[in-house]
DNA sequence: AGTTTTCTTGACTGATCAGTCAAGACATCC
DNA sequence: GGATGTCTTGACTGATCAGTCAAGAAAACT
């Protein structure tokens, strides 16, 4: 066909996919370490050891690259959550497993947490972030709503509660990603208890 | 004395202070709207209607300007919190009043919330953010510790709990600042209840 | 009125950087 | 071996931008 295909809809060979992954992986660490704007495209290609043209063969722009990184991350996070919840039935348990898997994932991907923080601050990325948050809040709110319907917790605004829950996990993730504070199991336990208490409004369910 | 004084230790006249304030105010809105890097110094001075030299008379660099904005904001936030708590005795009440004043302040300064998010993503600003967070978490943790000592709530890690509380307020503030979601009184009520339940582990104290 | 200090101007510099492109290498299939 | 499509190179362009500076205006002070 024509030679004017865009980087988005190219058919990549195995070698091509590897290159693309390498560029994304290296860019992720650089963006997280130095920031998005202070990281030049030339640094990324130098780091991977390729010419500049390679970058624009796989990505139509530096912005596009960041958007791709963020979208992949969201997909991965949700896949993890769904895997963690699979099998559970009780909505409160689903909520707890979701919180745990979010925290675990966040601890394993501190660079992404930093990128997400940046992405919220510029409109061209914030659009995507809003979409992503809506999805993630809905996931959490669904469990809370189910718990309300089942009479397990008193009625209330499920979305606001879901936002609060996400706030706790995100804040702890940020503290870990950015302040370098330790985020061990006991902290996760405290956070999970805090959230469940906040939602359930009763400490009897939570184990010591 | 010498003419080589730096912008930091200059003695400003009333007119000078006004100019400085005008530059900071305009820069704050621009940074929040477009982002820090995409906003050029020339845009700031054009917006205020002055020459470029004026900027470097008052600030030694663009980075310095942002740091000044952030420091002023932290000072103002804490002053508000202290004013809100003044008079209260009960540690749980102090905690509640602190949460409320943080949320109120955040709603009134969405631009600053955006700037703070960005500041966390680049090391030259993150240093200051870490310091600021430590201060703010300590403020909250102090009330929680006092409540523990008084036997009002069970023992636990006060700092982690304080972090969780700040996570809830910050997340709601961000949601308001960034997603443009409504943040009315009922949402604030839900958030305050969520936090108090999370900390106290009991819903009997909280009003309906 | 003279002097010092505060403040202002805006053209200019040096550097950086996102993105382009013409040319060619490599792989694959016929 | 030729043809086609995939991938790579790196010098180059055009634009932007943080920060400088020599010159002077406006106050403030004496």
DSSP codes joined into one string, chain A: --S---GGG----HHHHHHHHHHHHHHHHHHHHH-TTTS-HHHHHHHHT--HHHHHHH-S-HHHHHHHHHHHHHHHHHHHHHHHHTT--SHHHHHHHHHHHHHHHHHH-HHHHHHHHHHTTSHHHHHHHHHHHHHHHHHHHHHHHHHHHTTSS----HHHHHHHHHHHHHHHHHIIIII-----HHHHHHHHHHHHHHHH-BSSSS--
Chain A residues 38 to 67 with C-beta below 7 Å from nucleic strand C: 38-42, 52-53, 56, 61-63
CA dist list (Å): B109 to B25, B114, B153, B173, B182? 12, 9, 33, 9, 14
Spans of all domains in chain B: 12-59, 67-200
Phi/psi at B3 (5° precision): -90, -10
Q: Do A12-59 and A64-200 agree at the fold level?
A: no
D9 C1': nearest CA residue? A51
How far apart (Å, rounded) are the C-alpha atoms in residues A71 and A77?
10
**Count of alpha carbons within 13 Å of A92, Cβ hemisphere only?**
20
B35 touches strand D (CB under 7 A): no
CA of B33 to nearest chain A CA: how many angstroms apart? 8
Q: What does the pLDDT profile of chain A (208 residues) look like in tens digits?
A: 444 568 877 778 888 889 999 999 999 999 999 999 999 999 999 999 999 999 999 999 999 999 999 999 999 999 999 999 999 999 999 999 999 999 899 888 999 999 999 999 999 999 999 999 999 999 999 999 999 999 999 888 898 889 888 888 888 887 777 766 666 777 788 888 888 888 887 544 444 4
* pLDDT reported for residue A180: 67
- Are A116 and A133 in contact by the 8 Å Cβ rule? The answer is no
Environment class of A105 (CB within 10 Å of its CB; exposed 0-12, middle 13-18, buried 19+): buried
B53 touches strand C (CB under 7 A): yes
Report domain A64-200's class. Answer: mainly alpha
Closest by CA to A177, choosing from A103, A119, A120, A126, is: A103
Cβ distance of B167 and A167 shorter than 8 Å: yes
Q: List chain B residues with pLDDT less than 70.
A: 1-4, 180-183, 202-208
Distance in Å, residue A38 CA to nucleotide C24 C1': 32
The strand ranges marked E within B100-146 are none
**For the domain B12-59, what is the CATH code?**
1.10.10.60
Distance in Å, residue B128 CA to nucleotide C29 C1': 60
- Which of A126, A171, A203 lies closest to B166 in CB terms? A171
B63 touches strand D (CB under 7 A): yes
Closest nucleotide (C1' vs CA) to B15 is C7
Report domain B67-200's class. Answer: mainly alpha
Phi/psi at A56 (5° precision): -80, 0
Task: List, in order, residues 6 or more apart from A196 with CB less than 8 Å away.
Answer: A92, A95, A96, A205, A206
DSSP label at residue B184: -
Environment class of B136 (CB within 10 Å of its CB; exposed 0-12, middle 13-18, buried 19+): buried
Tokens 């992405």, residue located? A119
Cβ distance of A202 and B202 shorter than 8 Å: yes
B125-179 pLDDT, tens digit each: 999 999 999 999 999 999 999 999 999 998 988 998 898 888 888 888 887 777 7
Tell me how long chain B is: 208
- Are B162 and B137 in contact by the 8 Å Cβ rule? The answer is yes
* pLDDT reported for residue A74: 97
Closest by CA to A63, choosing from A19, A110, A123, A9, is: A123
Distance in Å, residue A65 CA to nucleotide D4 C1': 29
Residues of B whose CB is below 8 A from A172:
160, 163-164, 167
**Count of alpha carbons within 13 Å of A131, Cβ hemisphere only?**
11
Cβ distance of B122 and A34 shorter than 8 Å: yes
Name the 3-class secondary structure at B202: strand
Interface test with B, best of A184, A195, A198 (most B CBs within 10 A): A198
How far apart (Å, rounded) are the C-alpha atoms in residues B116 and A121?
9
A19-59 pLDDT, tens digit each: 999 999 999 999 999 999 999 999 999 999 999 999 999 99
Phi/psi at A202 (5° precision): -165, 130
* pLDDT reported for residue B3: 47
Which pair of tokens denotes residue A105? 């994932």
Distance in Å, residue A13 CA to nucleotide C23 C1': 22
Distance in Å, residue A53 CA to nucleotide C24 C1': 13
- Which of chain D's bases lie under 7 Å from a protein CB? 5-12, 16-23, 27-28
Terminal C-alpha separation, chain A: 65
**What value does the CA radius of gyration of chain B take, rounded to a whole number of Å?**
20
Residues of A whose CB is below 8 A from B206:
201
């Amino acid at each position: 066909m024509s030679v004017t295909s865009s980087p988005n809809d190219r058919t990549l060979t195995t070698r091509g996919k590897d290159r693309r992954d390498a560029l994304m992986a290296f860019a992720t660490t650089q963006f997280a370490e130095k920031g998005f704007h202070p990281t030049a495209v030339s640094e990324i290609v130098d780091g991977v050891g390729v010419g500049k043209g390679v970058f624009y063969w796989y990505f139509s722009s530096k912005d596009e690259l960041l958007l791709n990184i963020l979208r992949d991350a969201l997909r991965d996070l949700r896949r993890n959550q769904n895997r963690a919840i699979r099998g559970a039935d009780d909505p409160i348990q689903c909520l707890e497993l979701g919180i745990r898997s979010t925290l675990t994932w966040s601890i394993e991907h501190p660079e992404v947490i930093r990128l997400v923080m940046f992405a919220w601050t510029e409109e061209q990325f914030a659009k995507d972030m809003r979409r992503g948050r809506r999805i993630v809040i809905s996931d959490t709110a669904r469990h809370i709503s189910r718990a309300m319907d089942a009479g397990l917790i008193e009625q209330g605004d499920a979305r606001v509660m879901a936002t609060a829950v996400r706030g706790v996990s995100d804040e702890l993730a940020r503290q870990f990603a950015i302040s370098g504070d330790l985020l061990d199991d006991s902290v996760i336990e405290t956070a999970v208890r805090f959230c469940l208490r906040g939602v359930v409004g009763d400490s009897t369910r939570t184990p010591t």
